[in-house]
Amino acid sequence: MTLIVDDAGSGDLLFGVVVGAYHEPTGEFKYDLIDVRFYQDIFREKEYLQESSRVVSKLVSRFNLSPEEEIHICQGCIFDVAAEELQKVYGENRVKRIRVIGETQRLVEIAYLDEIRNLGYEPLAEREEKRGKSFFHMMRWLKDNPEMLRYAKTGWPRLKNYQMFKQFHAQQAFNAVCSECGAECEVPFKPKADKPVYCKKCWMNHRPQRMAKQ
């Protein structure tokens, strides 16, 4: 008896990510969403991993699992934190990483397709076999419907080369105080309390030295 967890949409340009759980003994299927905002401005901070863990934990708790039932979770990196947290709660012997196929994969994919159809987008019939073609099909749809960019994973670094997404990849500056000289400065990342921040002048004294060529 097994509960299987999988995702759909994490590699697609449109919408967030669908996380679904399928209970083999009963055929019961439930799903939840990782909101697209985790793949926009805050994508670089990888908060989607924590959100994935929260969503998975909530989903699993909605099933009345017996103590001997295993939880199988997709091998995708989106579940790395989720799997560790599940093992802490249910034990390493019950939580296993697997390559998900079959009914679970089918149901999660259907849920994702339903969500993007609700946006007004009709996916390619062969999207699973032609991922690259599907990506550009979604991009062309966004170009024709620019008001729907709010539903796109605009935080992906690879999108910075496309004119349509340049506005989302303009380098942002944050105010900070240099940890060495105390001067006010700007840095291209959000400062953290547990890490030092240096102005341009002080950074010259702390940047890693390049190895000399032999």
Same-domain check for residues 152 and 192: no
Mean pLDDT value of segment 38-65: 94
What's the pTM value of the predicted model, to 2 decimals?
Answer: 0.78
Range of the domain at 143: 2-159
Q: Name residues whose C-beta falls within 8 Å of residue 124's C-beta, 6 or more positions apart in sequence.
A: 130, 133, 134, 137
When pLDDT is averaged across residues 205-210 and rounded to a whole number, the result is 56
Same domain, 154 and 178: no
Statement to judge: residues 107 and 207 lie in one domain: no
- Residue 104: Cβ within 10 Å count: 23
pLDDT of 93-130, one tens digit each? Answer: 999 999 999 999 999 999 999 999 999 999 998 888 88
Is residue 211 over pLDDT 50?
no
Q: CATH number for the domain including 57? A: 3.30.420.10
- Closest CA relative to residue 10, chosen from 44, 49, 65, 45: 49
Shared domain check, 189 and 89: no
| 103 and 200 assigned to the same domain | no
Over residues 4-18, the pLDDT tens digits come to 999 999 999 999 999
Q: Are residues 154 and 192 in the same domain?
A: no
Decide the pairing of beta strands 95-98 and 70-74: parallel
**Do 86 and 17 share a structural domain?**
yes
Residue 138 lies in a domain: yes
Residues 9 and 111 in one domain: yes
In a domain, 165, yes or no: no
- 8 A C-beta contact, residue 73 and residue 5: yes
Of 1, 2, 5, give the one whose Cα is nearest residue 82: 5
Give a yes or no: residue 209 inside a domain: yes
Q: Is residue 164 part of a domain?
A: no
Domain assignment present for residue 42? The answer is yes
- Confirm whether 166 is domain-assigned: no
171 pLDDT exceeds 60? no
Are residue 152 and residue 175 in the same domain, yes or no? no
Q: Which residue has the higher pLDDT, 131 or 80?
A: 80
- Whole-angstrom distance, CA of residue 126 vs CA of residue 152: 21
Do 95 and 187 lie in a common domain?
no
167 φψ region: left (φ > 0), alpha (ψ -120 to 50), beta (else):
alpha
- Looking at the structure of the chain, the number of domains it has is 2
